[in-house]
Amino acid sequence: MAFSQSQLHAAQPLIDLCVAYKPEEDDYLRNVFFPRKAVSHLTDNIRAISKGDILRLYDLDASGDSQVAEVQYRIAANLTYNCNVLASKARISPIDVVNADAALQHELRQTKQALLSLGIRMEYLAVNQTLRSTNVLTNNETLTAAERWDNFGSASSQPIEDLQAAIAQVRIKTGKRKSGKIKVAMHEFTWMTLMQHPNILDRVTFNPGGTGAILTTDILAQMLGVGASDILVTASQYNSADQGDTDAYKAFLGADVVIAMVDDGGLDDQALGHEFVFDGLAGEDPFLVRKWREEGVGALGMDFVGVACACDYKVTNADAAFLFKGVLDVSDTERYASLID
């Protein structure tokens, strides 16, 4: 009589394979659009010079006995950053560490989760509450149904013209027509839509290899007058549901597109903004990571690993960006899987 499989082997976890999502491969945007600036206080002012007075046209006719006109720069209203303290902690039970299967890498994974959770909150603050806010990026346009980039049958759907006009506006308003580093960020679904858009493909030379017109980031960059590495395609997402509820995954950037000049100009800065990080908390690294033991918790006490930072994603020059809202039809859940809003 043949042995049954259950007699020969008792199922047990593999020690060299675990199914786990890796958010670090999703291309976060916060440090691209907000170059880090370490500051020594949680809040301070940022001085600003009036652009209007720098560019004011004066009547400087000094012929005859006319008085020479006096000119001067003027001080604009101060800007203020306010670093908020963010922190997370994860418990690492000594019993769980010994008892957990090897593939889980329990202590390492718990430590990593504290870092990941803090990073997700920081990305949300930078992207959802700052880059996607029309109250912050005041140069913006919400596309109508006819203008949406996935409305291939509409003559009003003109993504290249939209992008070119936004980039030109940013360059002109910042005075960085020749030297400014422009970044264009979009979701993977938006990039997929551009690659399929008939109006764009008509502009692309037919591929002699027989594969037809193909859009690449290199080609799009040439159309827009930016570097190929300045076209940023992201798939980063978060789960908006509370623990225990049905998971609700949402893309950080969603159906929006952000164009911004991100150069850190030093003293005379015209960049979009900065990630202001309080260096009194963690030195040059924005994350303070520490581990401690709480006695009297559990049979052997309880170890915790904690992560903290103090930061503010502050737009210091709204003229350095343009925001397109709703370039895709988010109601098409069959195409976009409810990921974008």
Separation CA 31–CA 38 (nearest Å): 13
Query: 275 near 248, Cβ under 8 Å?
Result: no
- CA atoms of 8 and 15, how far apart (whole Å): 19
Task: Give the lowest-confidence range in 15-24, 76-85, 312-321.
Answer: 15-24
Bridge partner residues of 292 (DSSP): 304
Torsion 169-172-174-177 (CA) sign: positive
Q: Most confidently modeled of 23-27, 61-65, 102-106, 294-298?
A: 102-106
Please state which CATH number belongs to domain 21-54+73-336. 3.90.1690.10
Domain assignments of the chain as residue spans, ordered by start:
21-54+73-336
* pLDDT tens-place string over residues 247-277: 999 999 999 999 999 986 678 889 999 999 9
pLDDT at 86: 95
Residue 139 banded pLDDT, cuts 50, 70, 90: very high
What average pLDDT does the segment 187-210 reach? 85
Tokens of 164: 């070119």
pLDDT at 209 over 90: no
Query: What's the mean per-residue pLDDT of the chain?
Result: 90
